[in-house]
Amino acid sequence: MSAGSKRINIPAAVQQSQSAAPTASETRYAWFVLVVLVTVYGFNFADRYLFIIMMEPIKADLRLSDTQLGLISGLGFSLVYGLSGLVVARLADVGNRRSLLAWALAAWSGLTAVCGLAGNFGQLLLIRMGVGVAESGCSPPAHSLISDYFPTGRRGAAFSIYSVGLDLGMALGFALGGWIGLHYGWRTAFVVIGLPGILLAVFTRFTVREPERGATDSGAVDTARYSVREAIAYLFAHESFLAYILGSSLFVFAGTAIDSWAPLFLMRVHGLPSDQVGLWTGTLGSVAGFAGSLTAGWCADRLTSRGLPWNQGRGDLRWNLGVAMGGFLMVIPTTLGFLFGTVHVVPLFYFLAVYFNSFYMAPTIAITHALLPVRMRSLGSAVLLLGYNLVGTSGANFVIGRISDLWAASSGVDSVRYAMAMSLLAGAGGVGCTVFALLRLPRDFAQVSSEQRS
């Protein structure tokens, strides 16, 4: 057995799933839980998109630079979010995921409202760091819950539907938050968007049940408890896992241009008002993200289970990564069209860029949960999100903000355009890492299967 594998007696470590087909009521309840998790995930992203749409008024009110905005939305939030997610994931792998999720939702909702009280850069940075810690308690336990409510063949679709929460958050943050910010100020917007999440936390706590781990997995299921050291060693022993995490993180780095800086670009370069930008980016972005997430999930599930005609109908889990990479390759031309097209074609390219930018997440989570034991799934999701936030969001936000400041003297308002375009170069490294993972995955899956039989 490889380093990091845990050898113990089969009855204690591996159970043979004997679960019968779910009843109609169990299926309906699983979908109810998924709807609740989608809503929670929407609130998880609403305040992030609200911060994006309010960056210009916040900058003017608190007299901040683009670098400071990048630090608050990048290192100040995303880095803390990613690192604290590792601790939260450990709690989710050994404790009650439902309760952890509810408490985290209540905490980040309250802190989002407190953002409206910030009076300077330091205060806003600290509050956003607190929001980041609390919001890290969302996806790792939610991903693990989904895997225990939906079987392997339906997880791609389930995770793609869960990802729609991001688009719900975009609609709340961009459209509703942008309108509130324009008419009542950015501080009021944070209070209005934040407080309802506390009520949702109570609803989640008393309506979502904690399922049995591995309940929907077929065949041998590894139910062993792993120490933190053993879990980390297990993850590092599988090179494909590390490769596609880095690859998809670089996709996030490149996609952050359209995801986080598009509203500021439209207001600064094209001179559009915040309510107009919030309305059409919120509407177009949420519809595009919704459609893209469902398309990616459907394609991943179909291809991984049945393949294509020229593949003689043989499925392959690697199609998950193929779908993720294919989506990213379309992000490059569509983002460039958004950045350098006229104001008349910008909405079309924005829609397409957001559509393809939503392809990477659901398939990557699905293949991660197929590769890892049930009590490592939250940790696997947390490591994935750490890469997304450390390498992707925080890195890109800082780099884009810094380049924009450095080039402002020579390029004026166009400095942000060129900074956003430069971030796309990171995607080349992402493609290389993903190709390596595609080549290495069969060996790692064979190794996992051997370990479960040991």
Query: What are the tens digits of pLDDT across the range 261-283?
Result: 898 899 899 988 877 887 888 88
Q: Is the pLDDT of residue 21 over 70?
A: no
Grouping H, G, I as helix, E, B as strand and the rest as coil, residue 406 is helix
Query: What is the CATH classification number for the domain harbouring 175?
Result: 1.20.1250.20
Predicted pLDDT of residue 401? 86
Is 216 inside a domain boundary? no
Return d(Cα 85, Cα 96) in angstroms, integer.
Answer: 16
- Kind plus residue range of the DSSP H or E element containing 174: none
Q: Is 213 part of any domain?
A: no
Count how many residues are written for the chain.
454
For the chain, what is the radius of gyration of the CA atoms?
21
Does any domain span residue 316?
yes
Task: Please report whether residue 283 resides in a domain.
Answer: yes
- Distance, in Å, from the CA atom of 21 to the CA atom of 153, rounded to the nearest integer, reads 13
Which residue from 392, 371, 388 is spatially nearest to 85, judged by alpha carbons? 388
Residue 273 lies inside a defined structural domain of this protein: yes
Q: Which residues, listed in sequence order, are joined to residue 416 by a DSSP beta bridge?
A: none
Q: How far is CA 238 from CA 155, 191, 235, 260, 368, in A?
A: 22, 44, 6, 32, 11
* Residue 175 domain-assigned (yes or no): yes
* Mean per-residue pLDDT over the chain, rounded: 84
- For residue 305, the model assigns a pLDDT of 77
Helices and strands: H and E segment counts in the chain: 23, 2
Q: What is the pLDDT of residues 32-70, one digit of tens each?
A: 999 999 999 999 999 888 998 888 899 889 998 888 887
Q: Is residue 3 part of a domain?
A: no
Tell me: the pLDDT tens digits for 378-406? Answer: 888 888 888 888 888 878 888 998 899 99
CA distance 292 to 362: 10
Look at residue 300 in the predicted model and tell me its pLDDT. Answer: 84
Mean local confidence (pLDDT), 395-418: 90
Work out the pLDDT band at 297, boundaries 50, 70, 90: confident
Q: Residue 143: which of 364, 305, 291, 320 has the closest Cα?
A: 364
pLDDT at residue 308 in the model: 53
Alpha carbon distance 234, 444 (integer Å): 11
Tokens of 289: 């993200």
Query: What is the spatial distance between Cα 215 and Cα 220, in angstroms, rounded to a whole number?
Result: 11
> How many domains is the chain partitioned into structurally?
1
Cα separation, 428 vs 426, in Å, equals 5
pLDDT tens for residues 107-145? 999 999 999 999 999 999 999 999 999 999 999 899 989
Which domain covers residue 438, as residue numbers? 23-208+224-453
Q: 222 falls in which pLDDT band (50, 70, 90)?
A: low
Q: Is 2 domain-assigned?
A: no
pTM of the predicted structure, to 2 decimals: 0.75
